Structure 1
């Protein structure tokens, strides 16, 4: 089969022919229909500090997909040939303390699809049955392929109730844009999006942002305070992985507010814990992955009902062989979500 593989410990990837993985007793063979590129895939392509310390080549990359079950192992019981599926990218052991206490997304023996386990940017994919998700027939393939990052946004937004709350979203990458639509659908009274990329700020307006601010053009702090009657925002959702943005969020959050952080930082961050957290009584949520599988049920409901329409975010679609065009667009910030026809 054809697959996009990180073959060497250097920048770049290759589209090459590789063997299809063997099918275990509880494994499922999937013919991938569509896949989408994640920021993690770009990090692996660019061989960033995170990637160098996290991934060992060779590895088929990718973890966002939709496909059709073509074969099943002898002990598979919950899916059948012909089912249209996607998958949870956190492959947990099911036996550790975290898994047995409902936190399989932080399993002690966790394997990440496309990082520790051969991934979805390939014609075929073999996965254990327990990570598969049967897709609602009302969700089209182009939406089904990005349910995994949509679930990230679900958990970040909905760590607490946002109805009638003022919300600041830091970072308008695809997940931040999903979060904008989710916050709007969940009844947020004011949604402010901050990002230095005007292309993505324009998409945020289509997804329901009331204000779209570029922090490189002006100081956003007084604008946020003015928009909230000098109270500051009730909720900050941090997707950027930028220390300056994180500090702006903490400075503009109202005392007693909460911040959810999904952004990944290349270096250690510096914040004023006394002034911005402790004395303001801020609640901080670290978000990783999704709540397995409760976030998938919420994602499916949001998308199958049409409460959130992610079409404005799905800006580009290429055949698998043109994956480097998608990587380049993501690196340059000239796209929303990039989908690949496999």
Structure 2
């Protein structure tokens, strides 16, 4: 089996983990926490960063930190992972959905303004699969209507928009460090911001609402979570961040190889190589099937799996999620591109550990199955 993803752990990961063990700093205290946070802040051009347990936790904390709650609306794409909608709903707010472009997978920016109401408090931007969302129009809308921007850059480690790092555009931005991301800590996430008050708020929320005043340590003015990343995870993150430029180069090499090897298959759409504002980073190599091709994504994935090729389906749209429909959300709402992307889309092996031989094997079997 060629897995859909396998992380690359060939830097200082063992060295830094051994340092944690040798010194006894294995919990959420320890030097690697600050090193990782400062490293990510510096890399993305942000003033502050707060590490957390995972990307979902980062989103949920971001929503609460911005004061978004009951009666508020957050505009977001239908085509994304459930973590995005879940974070809004758990805070008591209402997700307002936007369809996505079928070929670059990102939310249709031109549809956002029509969905803005007096209840709108934020736009959640989610960069999907490899290309960033076109940010300039969104930044203009946020300024015009006094809205917050929550930037989900979970899949965009090392990507830029007009030369500026993804993760630097939101009032609050988040990353995930799950093993399929360019930088992994096993499980982990981070929130980044430039506002000091928001930074202090997130630090408190991450740590059960503890006060920064040590004399009031066990006196709580608000409820938070225990979302603390461990020093062990941060040690992995520091080692991974040291290799980020190499990882980005490797991902683009994988993408370019697939583009060349698969371009003769007429019944599939390959990822867009670049937009005017960004070159594809190929977080995953995402494929959609042409309408006239008789098989759907599920059939293709099953046949590829039988021949030893790992795949993953595209996101199931927010407006079709059973749990949200049971809550009375998105009833009779239609977002055709989001629906079609799930039905016709899947991605093939593209992890950082992938070899040229494996890429060619995937290509051969793709041709055979199609």
TM-score by length of 1: 0.29
Higher helix share: 2
Relative contact order higher in (CA < 8 Å, ≥ 6 apart) = 2
Higher strand share: 1
